[in-house]
Structure 1
Amino acid sequence: TLLHAVEILTGTNALNVSIILSFMALPTIVSVSEDALQAVGRDIREGSYALGATRAETIVKTILPAASSGILAAVILGVMRALGETMVVWMASGNSAHIPEPWFNYLEAIRTLTATIAGDMGEADQVTGSARYHVLFAMGLLLLVISFICNLVSERIVVRQRKILSGQ
């Protein structure tokens, strides 16, 4: 069978988690993008039609560029939602404590930072402040830094898009 041809031993692997998270983030991305597209003013659409543009040209050359910052914000929001998802990743990824060989093999079980924090915090020796306990907090700090960087990048992109649209 096909599964034996690619040597997938179980259904818990990084590829499975990637597919599940993409479907979970999709409703957020679609709904926020739809709001951004509807926020484009009617006068912009009518102006495009008045200049002789077809419906497709209006969408591609007028509406999408005007709503691009909102669409980008929707994508970033969806990615951030996927980053914060813990339980689905924990169950679907196999929760394996080893690094796949080679490291980019999406068909092996993995463990994410959020799942590690959720799974190991109860077992870490909190009273004595063990190294394991401190490593879990370092993982949380790393996730916070990644989220902060994503927010900074998205803010810069939105500001750049506003400057482009305003013609400055």
Structure 2
Amino acid sequence: MAQPLERQKAKPHLAEEWVGKIYTSLCIGFLILTIFSLVYFVASKGLSTFIKDQVNAFDLLTGLKWAPEGQPALFGALPFIFGSFSTSLLAAAIAAPLGFCAAVFMVEIAPKFGRKYMQPVIELLAGIPSVVYGFVGLSVIVPVLRDIFPGQGVGIAAGAIVLSIMILPTITTIATDALAALPKGLKEGSYALGATRWQTIYRIVLPTTMPALLTGIVLGIARAFGEALAVQMVIGNAPHIPRSLFESASTLTSAITLSMGNTAMGSTPNNALWSLALILMLMTFVFVFIVRWLERRSKI
């Protein structure tokens, strides 16, 4: 009687296993279908600008003037591309040192105080809506820049400062996890050889975790590159390449959000906006490939 009972007990487990496998496979298939559908939709709309409307791709990427309603119509996206890259890279340059220093403080210098108070506060920044960041930037950062520097306060600098605050939780969290995952033997061996805490941090801890720290920077840039509303409120939305950090500029996301509702679906201006969206999507893929490459170089 023992063998039939074992078989009876095994049947429910086998049924649950098959149900789990089928459910998991359906979820994975749905995700893959969603991703490919999204890529196909954006790519088909974006490429129709060059195939259907006969817009030169080189002119779109290098043109300096955006006038879709002009005679002739001009589709120069270089000012938007420059604005997106400049604000994102400058934001990363501001947020990366702050994030690394906060992570080192929370893990290496004051782990109890940092983990208990600082880390929850920093992580709360990630949950604040982007419109709140934009409103704070428009109410606080723009007037300060207007009083200190020439110009109206809106521009690349204001957008970069707002974005740096938005991506700070991403960079800090990834840096904190990387430092906390570092094997204790490395630091103990450094201390055993007579190194001080600061020598251990900048000669052992930071070089060893550098791929993970760079991953946090890339993910922060990726988020900043795709941010629309907060940047749109403080950058000025002028479709030209600024000559200083305190002149109005525009980004790919702000150009799309401001103009998409004013164009007819299927028209050349509308397809050109989809081409800007295609550029954003391709840049997202580039950031993902960079992150994967950095993960393979990790020493931990």
- How far the C-alpha of 1:121 sits from its partner, in A, is 1.5
Query: How many angstroms does 1:6 deviate by?
Result: 5.4
Is 1:142 the counterpart of 2:285 in the alignment? no
1:157 maps to which residue?
Answer: 294
Q: Which runs of 4+ in 1 moved over 6 A?
A: none
Cα drift, residue 94 of structure 1: 1.3
Query: What is the CA–CA distance in structure 2 between the aligned matches of 1:4 and 1:51, rounded to whole Å?
Result: 52
Q: Which amino acid aligns with 1:140?
A: A
Identity of aligned residues (%): 33
TM-score scaled by structure 2?
A: 0.48
Equivalence map 1:17-96=2 (5 Å) = 17-96=159-238
Quick check: 1:133 aligned with 2:270? yes
Gaps of 5+ in 1: none
Aligned-residue offset at 1:4:
8.3
| Matched position secondary structure for 2:261 | coil
Q: How many residue pairs end up in the alignment?
A: 156
Higher helix share: 2
Counterpart CA distance in 1 for 2:160 and 2:253 is 15
Q: CA deviation at 1:156?
A: 2.6
Unaligned runs of 5+ in 2: 1-144
Q: Give the CA RMSD over aligned residues.
A: 2.2
Matched with 1:111 is 250
Checking the alignment, whether the CA contact within 8 Å between 2:212 and 2:294 is kept in structure 1 is no
Matched to 1:36, the amino acid is A
What secondary structure is seen at the aligned counterpart in 2 of 1:64? helix
Provide TM-score, normalisation by structure 1: 0.82
Amino acid at match of 1:64: L
For each residue in 1:21-44, what CA deviation from the matched residue of structure 2 results, as whole angstroms up to 9, or x when unmatched?
A: 112212221121111111101122
Aligned to 1:124: 263
